[in-house]
A and B are shown apart, each in its own frame.
Chain A
C-alpha cells in the first residue's frame, strides 16, 4: 500500500493540471496551469431513494454523477491571459478559454506515491467556469478560484 504524497516543486512528483483546447489531439502542447494552491476533484453521485413496506429503512441507489474539478491558483499573467497568437489553450489562456466557452480536455496528475512510484492521472472533458480573480490590500497578489465543470466520465490511467 502506498500513500499518494506529492512533492511540491519536484518535477514528476508534484500535482499537475494540464488543459487542452477542444482535445489533446487538436492541441498537442496544452497549457500547464501553474501555481495551484489546492485542487478538489468532485465525483458526486446523485441518489434515487424509495421506500418499501417490507423494509424499515429507505432504499437508495446511486444514479448519474455530477463531476467537476475545483481549485485555487495564483494568477500568472501568461497562463491567465494567454500568449495571444493562435487557437491553442496556451494562446487563449484560462480567461480566454472561459470567455469563449470552449470545451477543454484536462489531465490531473496526482503526483507521487510515498514510495517514489508514479501514481495516477485522471482525465476528462469539461468547461472552465467559476473564475473570480480577487486581490486585497492585505493580500496584494491576485488569486482566483477555477471550476472545470466536467461533462461525461472521468478516465483513470497510470502516469507516464
Chain B
C-alpha cells in the first residue's frame, strides 16, 4: 500500500512541495518532516486484523486493515498558496485504482502545531477480507 500511495503523490503537481523517499524517522530527536518543511513523507504501512466471522469448525474470516500515514509541515503563520488544493489532491489517493481487492477505503486528515510549524497528517486505511 505504501508504494501505491507514494506513486500517487509522486504523480501530483506538488508546486513548492517535494516528495521524499525517506520514512519520517527522528533525526537527533526531531522528526524529519519538522526539520524539512514542505517535504512530504510517506510512513511505513501498518496492518491490523479483526475477526469478522468465526465458525464452529475453526474457520475464521478476518478483516485486514492496512494503514499508511503521510506527513508534511508548513509555516503556521502563512500557509503556501496551494495548501488546500494539495490536501484535497492527496486525500484522493484513497481511490487509487492500483489498490485492489479492498472493500473499504478511508482517509483522515489532522493538523497539529509544533512551535511555529503546522503539521498536516493523513491516515489512509484500506480494509479487505482474508
A interface, CB within 8 angstroms of B: 6, 8-10, 14-16, 34-39, 73-74, 137-141, 143
**Which residue of chain B lies nearest to A35 when distances are taken between CB atoms in the complex?**
B55
B56 interface residue per 8 A CB criterion = yes
B76 interface residue per 8 A CB criterion = no
Q: How large is the interface on B (under 10, 10 to 19, 20 to 34, 35 or more residues)?
A: 10 to 19
Known interface pairs A8-B54, A37-B56; 15 further A-B residue pairs with C-beta atoms within 8 A, sorted by A's residue number: A8-B55, A9-B59, A14-B56, A15-B57, A34-B57, A35-B55, A35-B57, A35-B59, A36-B56, A74-B53, A74-B61, A140-B129, A141-B52, A141-B61, A143-B53
**Which residue of chain A lies nearest to B52 when distances are taken between CB atoms in the complex?**
A139
B103 interface residue per 8 A CB criterion = yes
Between A and B, 22 residue pairs with Cβ closer than 8 Å are A6-B56, A8-B54, A9-B59, A14-B57, A15-B56, A34-B57, A35-B57, A35-B59, A37-B53, A37-B55, A37-B56, A39-B56, A74-B53, A74-B61, A137-B103, A138-B103, A138-B104, A140-B129, A141-B53, A141-B61, A141-B129, A143-B53
Minimum C-beta distance from B32 to chain A (A): 37
Most buried by A among B54, B55, B59, B103: B55
Residue contact A8 to B58, C-beta cutoff 8 Å: yes
**Which residue of chain A lies nearest to B59 when distances are taken between CB atoms in the complex?**
A35
In the assembled complex, which residues on chain B have CB atoms less than 8 Å from the CB atom of A137? 103
In the assembled complex, which residues on chain A have CB atoms less than 8 Å from the CB atom of B53? 37, 74, 141, 143
Task: Please provide the chain B residues from 59 to 73 with a CB less than 8 Å away from any CB of chain A in the complex.
Answer: 59, 61
Minimum C-beta distance from A29 to chain B (A): 18
Minimum C-beta distance from A90 to chain B (A): 17
**Which residue of chain A lies nearest to B58 when distances are taken between CB atoms in the complex?**
A9
Residue contact A74 to B52, C-beta cutoff 8 Å: no
Q: Which of A36, A138, A141 contacts B57 (CB 8 A)?
A: A36
